């Protein structure tokens, strides 16, 4: 059953980069038997000081701000402000070491022009700087400058969580600071619940979380962080999702070291295995079926072919196809991985040396010849197009001319100046004709229409 998911929106030095900046020492375990009511009160008293309130200010008129969910809500009810407009929002974060490093969701601070942090029992409002973000995992690492040692949260082991285990969430739902809720782990390994190309493997919980909880910690009963609260099912109650903390640890190390995340890349397009395909040797429709291999990619160089069924990545057996992208993304660049594949009914081992995901961009640009503009489009489907017209942005390179003008992937381009486009060829021809002149795209983005102008 598919749920409509909505990301939890806002409401109204030196350091050894080779070392971990967090601690994983477990708190002394509480009663190992039946959980008592006062256990939660002790947890709340002990852990609340590590949770922070995040206040942001966003300039909605900035072109890049159009992708911010808060802007879409404002525009829906009040229309486009038509001038520079600032609004404030709230979110949650938690301190991961005594020097003031804070973890939260990227969507809490994305496009913010100002980030303020307030602590429990501290009247000081701290300015925060962004150390780095990972959009694909919806993570942000912040830093505040303090002249004292801060209370911090220990990071636990999310792999040891079991369905049915008790968990506690602390956050700022609807601006109600340091709200504590408790529940259980309802499920693990939730992946395809958000329409995004991110890397997700959510913990599902019925601990009550709401808008404003974004970026807050999900604790186990021993007081260790096992997840970061990120999303809720807006169509139901008691259905919340948290990023497993084990997926976060490697990202934090890279944000400290590089200020960004460098991910490994394999270079295959996959799909789930149908039951009809399982007769070739896969049991219970397990594995990831390769339907395309990018030329010059690590997979291509290792000899992986279309039609291969990947059964194992390293030592990890693939029960579902969507486990493969997550395993690749959590690997190190340069790692040599053994892949167990099934080809023509026979199992074989393939060794793949993973490359930097930046290689993917270079190959994609070379393959599709997206040129200096950094954009590629496709003909819109009947469902997507408007009155038979329009092309959909299939790819757009970040920091390219058109990206900086405000165009985003999946935008439906209806017109170039006054010309209605209906194919990729028409799109390319119109741009060639108008070289060295002002270009105006008329586009449809979800339910909104807007103009985007730039000089080619």
Active site residues: 107, 138, 214
- Tokens 């996959």 sit at which residue? 270
Distance between CA 377 and CA 414 in Å, rounded? 12
Which backbone phi and psi does 431 adopt, to 5 degrees?
-65, -40
DSSP per-residue codes, 263-289: -EE--EEEEPPPTTGGGGS-STT-SEE
Distance between CA 257 and CA 247 in Å, rounded? 17
Q: Distance of alpha carbon 150 from its chain centroid, rounded?
A: 28
Instruction: Give the helix ranges, DSSP H, for 155-244.
Output: none
92-105 burial, b if ≥16 CB within 10 A, otherwise e?
bbbbbbebbbbbbb
Q: How far is CA 76 from CA 79, 85, 413, in A?
A: 6, 15, 21
Q: Which of these, 136, 166, 132, 168, lies nearest to 153 by C-alpha position? A: 168
Distance between CA 203 and CA 209 in Å, rounded? 13
Distance between CA 407 and CA 429 in Å, rounded? 19
Distance between CA 441 and CA 421 in Å, rounded? 10
Contact 171, 42 (CB under 8 A): no
Distance between CA 330 and CA 112 in Å, rounded? 28
For strands 51-59 and 86-95, give the pairing: antiparallel
Query: Tokens in use for 179?
Result: 């709200």
Q: Distance of alpha carbon 343 from its chain centroid, rounded?
A: 33
């Amino acid at each position: 059953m598919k749920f409509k998911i909505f990301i939890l929106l806002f409401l109204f030095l030196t350091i050894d980069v080779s070392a971990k900046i967090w601690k994983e020492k477990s708190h002394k375990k509480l009663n190992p038997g039946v959980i008592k009511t006062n256990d939660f009160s002790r947890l709340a008293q002990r852990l609340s000081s590590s949770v922070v309130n995040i206040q942001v200010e966003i300039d909605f008129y900035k072109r890049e701000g159009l992708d911010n969910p808060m802007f879409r809500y404002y525009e829906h009810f009040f229309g486009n402000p038509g001038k520079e407009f600032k609004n404030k929002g709230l979110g949650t974060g938690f301190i991961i070491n005594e020097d003031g490093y804070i973890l939260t969701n990227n969507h809490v601070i994305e496009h913010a022009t100002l980030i303020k942090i307030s602590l429990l029992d501290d009247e000081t409002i701290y300015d925060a700087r962004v150390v780095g973000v990972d959009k694909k995992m919806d993570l942000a690492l912040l830093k505040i400058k303090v002249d004292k040692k801060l209370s911090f949260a220990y990071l636990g082991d999310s792999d040891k969580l079991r369905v049915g285990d008790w968990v506690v969430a602390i956050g700022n739902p609807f601006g109600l600071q340091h709200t504590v809720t408790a529940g259980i782990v309802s499920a693990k390994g939730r992946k395809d619940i958000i329409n995004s190309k991110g890397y997700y493997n959510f913990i599902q919980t019925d601990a009550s979380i709401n808008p404003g909880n974004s970026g807050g910690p999900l604790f186990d009963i021993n007081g260790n962080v096992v997840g970061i609260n990120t999303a809720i099912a807006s169509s139901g109650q008691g259905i919340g999702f948290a990023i497993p903390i084990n997926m976060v640890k490697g990202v934090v190390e890279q944000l400290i070291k590089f200020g960004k995340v460098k991910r490994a890349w394999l270079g295959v397009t996959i799909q789930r295995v149908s039951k009809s395909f399982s007769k070739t040797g896969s049991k219970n429709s397990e594995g990831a079926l390769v339907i395309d291999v990018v030329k010059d990619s690590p997979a291509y160089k290792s000899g992986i072919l279309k039609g291969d069924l990947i059964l194992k990545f390293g030592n990890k057996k693939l029960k579902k196809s969507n486990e493969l992208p997550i395993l690749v993304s959590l690997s190190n660049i340069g790692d040599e991985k053994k892949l167990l594949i099934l080809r023509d009914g026979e199992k074989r081992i393939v060794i793949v040396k993973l490359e930097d995901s930046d290689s993917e961009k270079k190959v994609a640009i070379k393959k599709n010849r997206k040129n200096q503009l950094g954009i590629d489009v496709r003909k819109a489907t009947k469902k997507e197009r408007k009155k038979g017209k329009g092309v959909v942005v299939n790819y757009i390179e970040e920091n390219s001319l058109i990206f900086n003008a405000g165009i985003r992937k999946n935008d439906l381009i209806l017109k170039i100046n006054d010309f209605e486009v209906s194919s990729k060829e028409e799109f390319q021809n119109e741009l060639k004709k108008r070289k060295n002149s002002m270009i105006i795209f008329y586009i449809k983005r979800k339910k909104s229409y807007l103009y985007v102008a730039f000089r080619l």
